[in-house]
Structure 1
Amino acid sequence: MDLPVNPPVQPMLAKAVTAVPDQPGGEPVWSYEPKWDGFRALIFRDGDEVVMSSRGGKDLARYFPELVDAAHAVLPERVVLDGEVAVARPIGGVNRLDWDSLSQRIHPAASRVARLAEETPAVFIGFDALATDSMDLTAERFEVRRSALLDAAAESGDDRIQVSRVTRDSAVATDWFTAFEGAGLDGVVGKRLDGVYVPGKREMVKVKHKRTADCVVIGYRIHKSGTGLGSMLLGLYAEGELRMVGGSSAFSDKKRIELQEMLEPMRLDPDRVAQGEVSRWRAAGSGEWIPIRPELVAEFAYDQMENQRFRHTVKFLRWRPDREPESCGYDQLDVPLTYDVFDVLVTGGQ
């Protein structure tokens, strides 16, 4: 492979901010785009050779053969693009990003890789260009790189290669922050219009979703050290049924012992818990979990829901003795579920 920019390359990163940055007076400074929740990926094409690497430089091409085929079919002969690999599936009547399906694509068996490429095909969503033909674009302004990205991918005619939408209007970006979560997106990213591409550096900004929810503590696991509580298992009510929604961990040594002493007297017979829920919890980590009487309510910080569960491990904030367990339902979660992921992509080359 002999491109102006050759692998391995670390993608440019983003630092967290609390709000979408406003444009100053006069000429716009920022370009805003949705924050995609998938696998960060760089695609390098040099004629018949295609390399697709992860943020850490690992080979992704073997897991997503359909994207390699698409790169061969529709991308320019010589190009390097930065973007996200995602899987979109119909959920609740609209297409949403599905992290569970995406994560299952990383499998060592070639036969399973081929089958999943048919059953849950991925899409590459481009949002930057590092090189085209013989030109290294990393020292160019984002405006120039964006134009090269559109030339390379926006009119590909292949659904497997897409381009992220952008805006220079901070009010529109702020609206996207709420509206696009319904498509399974993770927030908003800001790039300076005059910014160059700096591999491995946090030159962009990102605003992610942060929320709190009151949950019922339905179980716990002992810490891997054998002393104290390692994590709490959480539940929410739906149609009168208490459903597992995720876990909370990362407690101090003192807090782990305190929590174990608090929850130990509330232990239940494990046979009283649905075996399916036990299996899911075991799959999430090592060790057995211990069910307890569903009497305690606490407030937790979370970022996103997916398939009726918390997308990531949540953070314990405080106990809520004023809340009854039965009052902790899904209706408290402010998560829109009506935006189709394909409405967030570029149409007509915009």
Structure 2
Amino acid sequence: MELPVMPPVKPMLAKSVKTIPPDMQYEAKWDGFRAVVHRDGDEIVIGSRTGKPLTRYFPELVAALAENLPGRCVVDGEIVVVHGGRLDFDRLSERIHPAESRVRTLAERTPASFVAFDLLALGDTSHLDTPLAERRALLAEALRAARPPVHLAPATTDRELALVWFDRYEGAGLDGVVAKPLDLPYRPDARLMFKIKHERTADVVVAGYRFHKSGPVVGSLLLGLYDDTGALQHVGVCAAFPMKRRAELVTELEPLRMDPADAHPWAAWTDAHAHESSRLPGAVSRWTGKKDLSWTALRPERVLEVAYDHMEGTRFRHTAQFRRWRPDRAAADCTYAQLDEPVGYDLSEVLSGDGTG
């Protein structure tokens, strides 16, 4: 492979802001695997956000990219899996599997798509220093004849339309909106773009914690919500605390500590079969590897208000953010019923670029 921009490349990143800034290019924020694709003739390398190759996990995309990308190019985008008209990150995560036979099976069962949104090189020319507006025009022309599962990400310079997308596209599983300055060059691994994500709040039960990797202070709080059957389901963690606060939390939560934890709602967490019927902390996966998944059980009595962006099935998609303790709330009232569910929106309409209807 001989390209003007060679792998590995860490993609350009975005920093969070509260509102959509004016006078920029706006795109939906995709909830998938960020990927930089290098193609030189028959050679295709799909690089992850960390620079490690993803190529072997998506054989169906390798074939599709060979059919739809220019013969020599470097393209930035997102690998996604669509299920039921919306993005499905859980099914996408399953695609990362060590067994070749499983990779082939999943490529047929849950095929992935590639959404392209930036151009780093075309032919013998690097476009790292080319302004975004020009890169977008070049990318649109390069993908003019592209067909699914390769897509050109819809983009606009109309802020009012971006506001519509921010509300409407959430129902298709999208994460928010990304704003990009029109004169922005491409700078790998630099946070020069802006992301505006949805934020909601929920009252959750604190049912345990894990120690921090640095020592005997709280690393993360384990959060739960009650389902329709009255079972407490593990929905995620809250983890961003100053080190002083991590130490204080150990003392503060000590009166709730359960040792032994036989009567805890998640006492069966070490039983692999129990994870099949309930959401429990400590599920072993290819992501966790040999990581210590043990945790300290707490009586599920304290209620915490957290901020979250969106749900992935029955759990928070990302780490929740601490807002405040809620001593005025009863743990039993912390149910899924309080969560705001966005109106559904078919992802095919997003990918078609029909965001105005």
Q: Which TM-score applies when normalising by structure 2?
A: 0.85
1:79 aligns with 2:73: yes
Q: Which ranges of structure 1 fall in alignment gaps of 5 or more residues?
A: 24-29
Residue in 2 that maps onto 1:155: 145
271-280 or 185-194, which deviates more: 271-280
Report the CA distance between 1:225 and its aligned residue. 5.8
Partner AA of 2:63 in structure 1: D
1:133 aligns with 2:127: no
TM-aligned CA distance change 1:338 to 1:154, over 3 Å: farther
Q: 2:191 aligns with which of 192, 197, 202?
A: 202
CA contact under 8 A between 1:154 and 1:162: conserved in structure 2?
Answer: no
Partner AA of 2:207 in structure 1: I
1:55 aligns with 2:49: yes
Q: 1:121 aligns with which of 111, 119, 129?
A: 111
Q: Give the distance between the partners of 2:297 and 2:188, measured in 1 at CA.
A: 46
Residue in 1 that maps onto 2:83: 89
Residue in 2 that maps onto 1:338: 344
1:100 aligns with 2:96: no
Residue in 1 that maps onto 2:19: 19
CA contact under 8 A between 1:131 and 1:137: conserved in structure 2?
Answer: yes
Partner AA of 1:313 in structure 2: T
1:307 aligns with 2:313: yes
Report the CA distance between 1:262 and its aligned residue. 4.0
Residue in 1 that maps onto 2:28: 34
Residue in 2 that maps onto 1:192: 181
State percent identity of aligned pairs: 51
1:70 aligns with 2:70: no
Q: 1:245 aligns with which of 214, 218, 235?
A: 235
Q: Give the distance between the partners of 1:313 and 1:86, measured in 2 at CA.
A: 20
Q: Which ranges of structure 2 fall in alignment gaps of 5 or more residues?
A: 269-273
CA contact under 8 A between 1:61 and 1:68: conserved in structure 2?
Answer: yes
Report the CA distance between 1:31 and its aligned residue. 1.1
1:292 aligns with 2:298: yes
- Deviation readout 1:168-203 (Å, 9 max, x if unpaired): 111211222222122221111112223332333333
1:320 aligns with 2:314: no
- Deviation readout 1:89-137 (Å, 9 max, x if unpaired): 12xxxx2222222222222222222222122211110001122233333
Q: Residue 312 of structure 1: SS of its match in structure 2?
A: coil
Report the CA distance between 1:250 and its aligned residue. 4.0
Report the CA distance between 1:263 and its aligned residue. 3.5
CA contact under 8 A between 1:295 and 1:325: conserved in structure 2?
Answer: yes
Report the CA distance between 1:271 and its aligned residue. 3.9
Q: Give the distance between the partners of 1:195 and 1:271, measured in 2 at CA.
A: 57
Report the CA distance between 1:279 and its aligned residue. 7.7
Q: Give the distance between the partners of 1:110 and 1:320, measured in 2 at CA.
A: 49
Q: Give the distance between the partners of 1:341 and 1:245, measured in 2 at CA.
A: 25
CA contact under 8 A between 1:219 and 1:292: conserved in structure 2?
Answer: yes
CA contact under 8 A between 1:13 and 1:204: conserved in structure 2?
Answer: yes
Q: Give the distance between the partners of 2:212 and 2:336, measured in 1 at CA.
A: 29
Aligned length: 338
CA contact under 8 A between 2:17 and 2:195: conserved in structure 1?
Answer: yes
Q: Residue 216 of structure 2: SS of its match in structure 1?
A: coil
Partner AA of 2:303 in structure 1: V
280-289 or 68-77, which deviates more: 280-289
CA contact under 8 A between 1:33 and 1:166: conserved in structure 2?
Answer: yes
CA contact under 8 A between 2:234 and 2:279: conserved in structure 1?
Answer: no
CA contact under 8 A between 1:127 and 1:163: conserved in structure 2?
Answer: yes
Q: Residue 97 of structure 2: SS of its match in structure 1?
A: coil
- Deviation readout 1:260-295 (Å, 9 max, x if unpaired): 344444345644435335884112662433443332
Report the CA distance between 1:154 and its aligned residue. 4.4
Partner AA of 2:320 in structure 1: V
TM-aligned CA distance change 1:319 to 1:111, over 3 Å: same
Q: Residue 123 of structure 1: SS of its match in structure 2?
A: strand
Report the CA distance between 1:224 and its aligned residue. 4.9
TM-aligned CA distance change 1:96 to 1:246, over 3 Å: same
Q: Residue 214 of structure 1: SS of its match in structure 2?
A: strand
Q: Give the distance between the partners of 1:282 and 1:347, measured in 2 at CA.
A: 40
Report the CA distance between 1:302 and its aligned residue. 2.0
